[in-house]
Amino acid sequence: MPVFYGKDIPSRLMLGTAQYPSPAILAEAFRQSGAGIATVSLRREAGGERAGQAFWSLIEELGVAVLPNTAGCHSAREAVTTARMARELFETNWIKLEVIGHADTLQPDPFGLLEAAAQLCAEGFEVFPYCTEDLVLCERLVEAGCKVLMPWGAPIGTGLGLNNIYGLRSLRAHFPDIPLVVDAGLGLPSQAARAMELGYDAVLLNTAVARAGDPVAMARGFARAVEAGALAAKADPMDPRDMAAPSTPVLGKAFL
């Protein structure tokens, strides 16, 4: 199971908490998924009046680790300010760092992301950066102090799966000792399984479960897919071949 900043996580599946049809469905989806981490946007809470107290109580009842995020931030300054507020409110140094650079694709701004990551790491935050699969950017994030990387599979909410298998595989090979999480773009359990087969440590998703016709069933499906993919990676799967190879030995077969 993954270890993030020294903390053992009991599941390779991480879930977001937005867009569910009801709090009851959110809670049951989490239970069925076995997810070990819930991502929560600061915008769901009000620092002074605690207007989101009912929601926060629900998350606490789930008994999972909370990963606050800076969703919706479009500059390093905005993300850093949001992260500081999140640390005070949620009483954790963990922060999922998002600095959005493109309004249509929600692609991270690599320059703002690196600037914010360096500042937050210097302030003692344990940063989970939402990034692309760009190798140079990821190297700079690690140099800045990030001990986890969260490259996207595809743009947030698209369900397109893993758009750049080569890039994701290259990251895994280049950072064998850094926990890697595919974050965003997964739409089907099979896509999550594929991420695990590439050797990734976990996947993070929200829309695929929350917006499914049956979120609870979809959560259960992702839980099983992630486990299957992790087992496949651990089992050292066979390499693909260009030619067919008989599974039944020809030696000793009678020829008529």
CB 49 within 8 A of CB 61: no
Place of tokens 């500059």: 75
> Tens digits of per-residue pLDDT, 96-125?
999 999 988 899 999 999 999 999 999 999
**Confidence grade of residue 60 (pLDDT, cut at 50, 70, 90):** confident
**What strands lie across the sheet with 126-131, from one edge to the other?**
150-151, 126-131, 94-97, 65-69, 37-41, 13-16, 202-205, 181-183
Binding-site residues from annotation for 1-deoxy-D-xylulose 5-phosphate: 157, 184-185, 206-207
> Tens digits of per-residue pLDDT, 179-204?
999 999 999 999 999 999 999 999 99
Q: Superfamily assignment of 7-235 in CATH? A: Aldolase class I (3.20.20.70)
Angle subtended at Cα 72 by Cα 44 and Cα 61, rounded to the nearest 5 degrees: 30
CB 209 within 8 A of CB 180: no
Dihedral angle computed from the Cα positions of residues 220, 70, 110 and 181, in that order, rounded to the nearest 10 degrees = -20
If one compares 247 and 87, the residue with the highest pLDDT of the two is: 87
CB 151 within 8 A of CB 171: yes
> Tens digits of per-residue pLDDT, 65-78?
999 999 999 999 99
Query: What is the Cα–Cα distance from 117 to 107, expressed in whole angstroms?
Result: 16
Q: How many CA atoms lie within 13 A of 128 on its CB side?
A: 27
**Confidence grade of residue 48 (pLDDT, cut at 50, 70, 90):** very low
Binding-site residues from annotation: 157, 184-185, 206-207
Does the structure show a pLDDT above 70 at 51? Answer: no
**Confidence grade of residue 47 (pLDDT, cut at 50, 70, 90):** very low
CB 53 within 8 A of CB 59: no
pTM of the model: 0.90
Query: What is the Cα–Cα distance from 200 to 182, expressed in whole angstroms?
Result: 7
Does the structure show a pLDDT above 70 at 253? Answer: no
The pLDDT, as a whole number, for residue 209 is: 97
Does the structure show a pLDDT above 70 at 52? Answer: no
> Tens digits of per-residue pLDDT, 2-26?
999 999 999 999 999 999 999 999 9
Place of tokens 């963990």: 94
The pLDDT, as a whole number, for residue 256 is: 63
The residues annotated with a catalytic role in the active site are: 96
